[in-house]
Amino acid sequence: MTLFAYVAIDSKRNPVNGTMELNERSEVIDALAKQGLRPVSIKETKAKAAKSDSSKMFESNKVKSEQLVMFTRQLSAMVGAGVPLLRALSALSSHISESPALKRILTNVIHDIEAGSTLGDALGKYPTVFNDVYVNMVRAGEAAGILEDILKRLAVQQEKSSSMKKKIKSSMAYPVVLMSITILAFFGLMFFVIPKIGTVMTGLGGPDAKLPGLTLAMLAISDFFIKRWYIVFGSIFLLVFGTITYVRTPKGKRNKDLLFLKIPVVKTVVKKVAIAHFSRTFSALIQAGVAVLEALSVTSRAVGNVIYQEALMKAEEEVKNGKSLSSVIAANPIFPPIVSQMILVGEETGQTDQILVKVADFYEEEVDAAINGLSTIIEPVMIVIMGGMVGLIAASVMLPIAGLAQNIKG
C-alpha cells in the first residue's frame, strides 16, 4: 500500500488535511467522497519504515481496562459535543501517552475509517482490546445514530466489570500470599532445617540411635529432596505447565469451569459472577438496539464461563424456534429462579433491559458478599495448614529429643 497525503475541503469549505494508506489515488478520492470531502490535492508520501519482524514480535496490543474506559468516556464526550468522529479519534490518539498499544491501534482505526470503514468494523479488527460486546454495541449505535449514548453505556459497563475483577483479585491476594509463604517455608525446612536436625540427632544419639517413625519419615523426604532436587522441581514444572496448557484447550477450559461449579462455596461465587456478567452484558446490548438472538450470541461469548456459554447458545437456538427466553432460562438449573422470573416480568412489560440491569446490580452486590465469605473461609484454612506443617516439623524434632532425655534419665 501507498501512503497518500491529501488536502480537501468539506461542505462548509473548511480545509481538511490528513493521510490515507491505500493502493491507488482513485481509492483515496472515493474514500474522501464517502466522507463528504472534495479533494484539492493528493500526493504520495514516504511511508514510515516498516518495523522489523523482531520488533513486531515484542509489540503488545494489551490495553488496561482503565485506559479503555477513559478513552470510551472521552470519545463519548467529544462526539456528544459535535466533534466529527475522525477529528475526535485523531485528538485522542495524539494525546495518549500512557498506552502505546492503544495509540497504535487508534492510528490504524483512523486509517480504516478514512478508507471508508465504519467505527465498529475498524474496532472489530482488534478483538483482544475491543471485545464482541463493545464492537456490536458500537455498530448498533452507529446504525441508530446514538453513538454518544452507547459509548456512555459501554464506559459504565466496563467500569462495573473492571470493579468486579479488582474485588475478586484483592480478596484472593491474602490467601495467595499465605499459600506462597507456606510452600516456600516447606521447601526451606526440607532443604535447610531438617538436614541439620538429622545431623544433631545423630550426633547426640550416635549412628545407631533409634529415631521415631515421624522423624525418620521427615529425614527421608528431606534427603530425597536434596539428592533428587531436579526430579522434584522438574515434576512441579511439568505439572504446572501441563495444567496450564490443558486448561487453555477447549476441553480443559470446559472441565475447569465444570469443576468450579461443583466445589462448595466456590461454586456460589462462580455462579453469581457469571449471572452478573450475563445480566449486565445482555441488558446493555438490548438497550443498544441489538436483536435478541444476536445479543444472546454475543453475550454467550462474553459471559466468561463455558458452561454458561453453552446454556446461552442453547437458549439462542430455542428462542429462534419460538420459545420465550424466560421459559428457556427457567428450564436450566444453572440459572436461579429469580433470573427467569425477572426476565418474564421484563417480557410482559417490554422492559427486559431495565429489569436485567436491576438483576445485574443485585448479583454484583451478592458477588461482593460471596467473595468476602470465601476469603473468610480460605484464610483460616491456610493458617491451619501452615500451623499443621510447623507442628509436624516440631513434633519430628521434639520426639527424638524427648526419647534422648528418657534414655539419659534411665
Question: Are 161 and 363 within 8 A, CB to CB?
Answer: no
Compute the Cα dihedral for 70, 76, 80, 86 and give only its sign: positive
| Mean pLDDT, range 213-237, rounded to an integer | 90
Percent of the chain at pLDDT > 70 equals 93
At residue 55, the pLDDT reads 45
Task: For the chain, give the number of residues.
Answer: 410
Q: Pick from 165, 159, 163: which is nearest to 76 by CA?
A: 159
**DSSP string of 313-361?**
HHHHHHHHTT--HHHHHHT-TTS-HHHHHHHHHHHHHT-HHHHHHHHHH
| Nine-digit cell string for 61 | 496490543
Kindly report, residue by residue over 241-258, the tens digit of the pLDDT. 999 999 999 999 999 999
pLDDT digits (tens, 9 = 90+) for 277-297: 899 889 888 888 888 898 898
**3 state SS of 40:** strand
What's the pLDDT band for 310 if we cut at 50, 70, 90? very high
Average pLDDT taken over every residue of the chain:
83
Residue 52 vs residue 302, higher pLDDT: 302
Burial class of residue 121 (count of CB atoms within 10 Å of its CB; 0-12, 13-18, 19+): middle
Bridge partners of residue 18, in order along the sequence: 6
The CATH topology of domain 61-158 is Receptor-associated Protein (1.20.81)
Measured CA to CA, the distance from residue 242 to residue 360 in angstroms comes to 36
List 219's β-bridge partners, or say none: none
Query: Helix 229-247 vs helix 250-260: angle between axes, to the nearest 10 degrees?
Result: 90
Per-residue pLDDT at 61:
66
How far, in Å, CA of 312 to CA of 285, rounded?
15
Give first-to-last CA distance, the chain, whole Å: 95
Report the pLDDT value the prediction gives residue 205, as an integer from 0 to 100. 64
Name residues whose C-beta falls within 8 Å of residue 101's C-beta, 6 or more positions apart in sequence. 59, 60, 61, 62, 63, 129
Asked if the 169-410 domain carries CATH number 3.40.710.10, the reply is no
Instruction: Yes or no: say if 373 and 264 are a contact pair by the CB < 8 Å rule.
Output: no
Q: CA-based angle 21:26:32, to the nearest 5?
A: 70
In one-letter notation, the amino acid at residue 376 is T
Classify residue 331 by burial, with Cβ atoms within 10 Å: 0-12, 13-18, 19+: middle
Residue 276 backbone phi and psi in degrees, to 5? -60, -45
Q: What is the mean pLDDT of residues 331-358?
A: 91
Q: What does the pLDDT read at residue 60?
A: 57
Digit-coded pLDDT (tens) for 37-68: 788 788 877 544 444 444 444 455 678 888 88
Per-residue pLDDT reduced to its tens digit, 108-128 = 898 888 888 889 888 988 888
Are the C-beta atoms of 304 and 273 separated by less than 8 Å?
A: yes
Do residues 186 and 393 lie in contact, with contact meaning Cβ atoms separated by under 8 Å? no
- Residue-level pLDDT at 198: 77
pTM of the model: 0.70
Q: Which pLDDT value is given to residue 326?
A: 93
